[in-house]
């Protein structure tokens, strides 16, 4: 099957006006379409999940082996060996200190909601039922379900379903490039952290349950928090007994050149939501990492209950797949390699595109980098909301055989454009050079001074 006519196909895609390539196979760092096109996969499958590359033999062998043992055993009735082994592997090799329990679900959306549930149960079991408020940041994105959208801050993704949301509290995003101009990172970090404390006090601390944030915000164009920010957040959450949740669905398991994004800030949260890279895109699985502080409250409650699970929670086939991916990362020291690739990529981007008049910022950590586009470098103004400049760049990249991840609306949820680069940690130097060559060619094809209103869809996250 070549290009699909979405009006005649039985498949219902996310956008009826997008001409999607039909991928029939993928291997290494390349994706192959039915029409003969080959794409260098600079976005790890599109949203950063394929962190070790496609069709890795060790992972395929693990999938085949587990499929001959057991593929499903519902977590509300059974435990299974694959999930038990995966939890131990995560805690031993990846989790921060004092995070010794893991609860498995299927998607990043489920993982962020699970963390919010754990925060609620923690306060309930401590005899504090009045603690129910969730604080998040504007422009943050924590998943696509109605609940996750309720406490997300990305305007464009929330717009259609406003009547269904429950109230939540939002504070300013830690967006030094735009919001912190004229301030050093640490000074700006204090401003942003003070915004959190003021929100907690304003809402009455005894009613606040948790604060959720991404260390590097994917939908703001791989935007990292400023230096010192999460250390201050940790102090504030401790002061008011507010549970600190790190949304590491995108950034976990080496994506930023550390085991977790929070490691760049030397901060241990109370809960970590994980997804995407946990299984390298080979099978749906996500999880929450639980700090001993919360575990102690759970284990001492007479009910023995934690939170209600899901049909495919702790799925043995997905768990065995994830274990194979994580062992491959460990055996090949790919977290370190992610950092090394990131340094090389950042250098190449700044050397080749650092003076481009319509690139305002080149940023990121490890294998999670982005270019933010502007009308000019002096004002840093965005293009109008109806002009999808990220989509134009993405279309040009695809014409060059390069898959990257466009983000439209990164500045305020409606305006702003970035292109995100999320290569697998196994990229060779030659492939990285090829990626940058293709990206530079694509960017020079775009008409920056006379933008069109044409574009393609934005990035997606589950």
pLDDT of residue 461: 45
* Rounded CA separation 128/132 (Å): 9
Task: Convert the pLDDT of each residue in 141-187 to its tens digit.
Answer: 999 999 999 999 998 888 899 999 999 999 999 999 999 989 999 99
Least confident of 4-8, 57-61, 428-432: 4-8
Tell me the average pLDDT of the chain: 95
Mean pLDDT of 69-88: 96
Checking if the pLDDT of 458 tops 70, the result is no
pLDDT of residue 2: 55
Q: Which residues fall within 8 angstroms of residue 72, CB to CB, at 6 or more apart?
A: 312, 315, 316, 317
pLDDT of residue 450: 52
pLDDT of residue 113: 98
Domains of the chain: 23-52+333-445 (3.90.1150.10), 60-331 (3.40.640.10)
pLDDT of residue 308: 87
Closest to 244 measured CA to CA, from 150, 137, 141: 137
Task: Convert the pLDDT of each residue in 362-398 to its tens digit.
Answer: 999 999 999 999 999 999 999 999 999 999 999 999 9
Checking if the pLDDT of 7 tops 60, the result is yes
Q: Are 228 and 185 in contact (CB under 8 A)?
A: yes
Checking if the pLDDT of 90 tops 50, the result is yes
pLDDT of residue 155: 87
Residue 8: count of CB within 10 angstroms of its CB: 6
Q: Which residues fall within 8 angstroms of residue 304, CB to CB, at 6 or more apart?
A: none
pLDDT of residue 168: 95
Closest to 210 measured CA to CA, from 189, 192, 236: 236
Residue 168: count of CB within 10 angstroms of its CB: 17
Residue 331: count of CB within 10 angstroms of its CB: 9
* Rounded CA separation 324/198 (Å): 45
Percent of the chain with pLDDT over 90: 91
pLDDT of residue 454: 41
**Confidence class for position 3, pLDDT limits 50, 70, 90:** low
Instruction: Please give the structure tokens belonging to residue 316.
Output: 């043995």
Residue 377: count of CB within 10 angstroms of its CB: 14
* Rounded CA separation 393/366 (Å): 22
Instruction: Please give the structure tokens belonging to residue 181.
Output: 């101009």
Task: Convert the pLDDT of each residue in 288-309 to its tens digit.
Answer: 999 999 999 999 999 999 998 8
38: helix, coil or strand?
strand
Residue 272: count of CB within 10 angstroms of its CB: 29
* Rounded CA separation 462/402 (Å): 22
Task: Convert the pLDDT of each residue in 238-260 to its tens digit.
Answer: 999 999 999 999 999 999 999 99
Mean pLDDT of 81-85: 98
* Rounded CA separation 192/286 (Å): 29
């Amino acid at each position: 099957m070549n290009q699909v006519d979405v009006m005649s196909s039985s498949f219902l895609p996310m956008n009826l006006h997008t001409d999607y390539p039909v991928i029939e196979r993928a291997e290494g760092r390349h994706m192959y379409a039915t029409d003969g096109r080959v794409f260098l996969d600079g976005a790890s499958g599109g949203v950063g999940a394929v962190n070790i590359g496609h069709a890795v033999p060790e992972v395929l062998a693990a999938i085949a082996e587990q499929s001959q043992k057991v593929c499903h055993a519902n977590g509300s009735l059974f435990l299974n060996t694959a999930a038990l082994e995966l939890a131990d592997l995560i805690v031993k090799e990846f989790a921060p200190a004092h995070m010794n329990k893991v609860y498995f679900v299927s998607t990043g959306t489920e993982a962020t909601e699970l963390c919010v549930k754990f925060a609620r149960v923690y306060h309930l079991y401590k005899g504090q039922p009045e603690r129910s408020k969730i604080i998040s940041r504007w422009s943050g994105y924590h998943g696509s379900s109605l609940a996750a959208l309720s406490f997300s801050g990305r305007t464009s993704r929330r717009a259609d379903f406003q009547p269904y949301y429950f109230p939540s509290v939002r504070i300013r995003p830690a967006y030094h490039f735009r919001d912190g101009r004229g301030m050093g990172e640490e000074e700006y970090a204090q401003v942003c952290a003070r915004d959190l404390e003021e929100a907690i006090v304003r809402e009455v601390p005894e009613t606040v349950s948790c604060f959720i944030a991404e260390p590097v915000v994917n939908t703001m164009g791989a935007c990292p928090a400023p230096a010192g920010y999460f250390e201050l957040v940790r102090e504030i959450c401790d002061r008011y007994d507010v549970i600190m949740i790190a949304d590491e669905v995108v950034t976990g398991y080496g994506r930023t050149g550390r085991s977790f994004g929070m490691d760049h800030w030397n901060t241990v949260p109370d809960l970590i939501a994980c997804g995407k890279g946990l299984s390298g895109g080979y099978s749906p699985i996500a999880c929450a990492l639980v700090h001993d502080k919360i575990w102690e409250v759970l284990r001492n409650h007479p009910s023995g209950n934690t939170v209600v699970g899901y049909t495919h929670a702790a799925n043995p086939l997905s768990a065995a797949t994830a274990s194979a991916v994580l062992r491959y990362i460990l055996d090949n020291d790919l977290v370190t390699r992610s950092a090394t690739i990131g340094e090389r990529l950042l250098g190449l981007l700044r050397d080749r595109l650092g003076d481009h008049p319509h690139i305002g910022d080149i940023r990121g950590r490890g294998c999670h980098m982005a270019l933010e586009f502007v009308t000019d470098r002096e004002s840093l103004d965005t293009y109008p909301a109806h002009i999808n400049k990220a989509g134009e760049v993405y279309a040009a990249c695809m014409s060059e055989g390069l898959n990257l991840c466009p983000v439209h609306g990164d500045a305020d949820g409606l305006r702003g454009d970035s292109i995100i680069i999320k290569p697998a940690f196994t990229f060779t130097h030659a492939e990285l050079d090829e990626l940058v060559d293709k990206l530079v060619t694509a960017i020079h094809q775009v008409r920056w001074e006379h933008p069109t209103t044409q574009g393609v869809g934005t990035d997606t996250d589950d």
